[in-house]
Amino acid sequence: MSVKLSVNVNKIATLRNARGGNTPNVVQVALDCERFGAEGITVHPRPDERHITRQDVMDLAKVVTTEYNIEGYPNDRFMELVLDVKPTQATLVPDPPGVLTSNAGWDTKKHLDQLKDLVSTFKSEGIRSAIFIDTDLQNIEYAAKSGVDRIELYTGPFAENYGDDPQKAISAYITAAELAAELGMEINAGHDLSLDNLRFFQENTPALKEVSIGHALISDALYFGLENTVQMYLRLLK
């Protein structure tokens, strides 16, 4: 089976917010991404609403027909929003409020009790759960203890080192994915995946189900056009 592409539309909201108004229209872009073949839409609302707003999350929930993934730090406001919208998937990210972008995974041993409670809450509402995580094997093991459905591997270090030595860059991800699959978890991935490195990552990571890509995809669309860019990414995954 091919790996699903979920398009993160945060950067569309960033561009809109820079000028005010509703251009570009986040909802329309999400619908277009689906029409062009994307199998999911991802948003990451932050407390300061510097890109995706609460209203965006609600508006998208009414129209997205593929998988809808909401990711973020599980403060009270985030949890209230997710439980109200009931997306396909909720991805827990350990970002403090002021962080620019997600750049680390959970310490799942330290936060096990919290993660167990969150995952249980999502399960009771029929929401698939995911935890943003690095390749540390202890973190993988404790993620499994939380009962989570999926992990999302933080691929920043892979992307950073890919140009120097692809095999070295992917090595820890192969081991982490194999262990996660053995422990009964499915695998997502995201952060700095691009047209340059995506195929290699997909071909070498066992049991990969979904990638979430925003910054690189939207940047590529400036040159190639959105429809063509979405389909270029899809071709790499299939």
Residues recognised as catalytic: 44, 71, 191
Q: Cα–Cα distance between 9 and 203 in angstroms, integer? A: 25
| 66: Cβ contacts below 8 Å, ≥ 6 apart | 34, 38, 39, 40, 41
Among 221, 226, 212, smallest CA distance to 68 is for 212
Q: How far is CA 230 from CA 76, 92, 208, 221, 225, in A?
A: 34, 25, 19, 8, 9
- Residue that has been written with the tokens 């999350």 in this structure: 57
Separation between Cα atoms, residue 198 and residue 67, nearest integer Å: 20
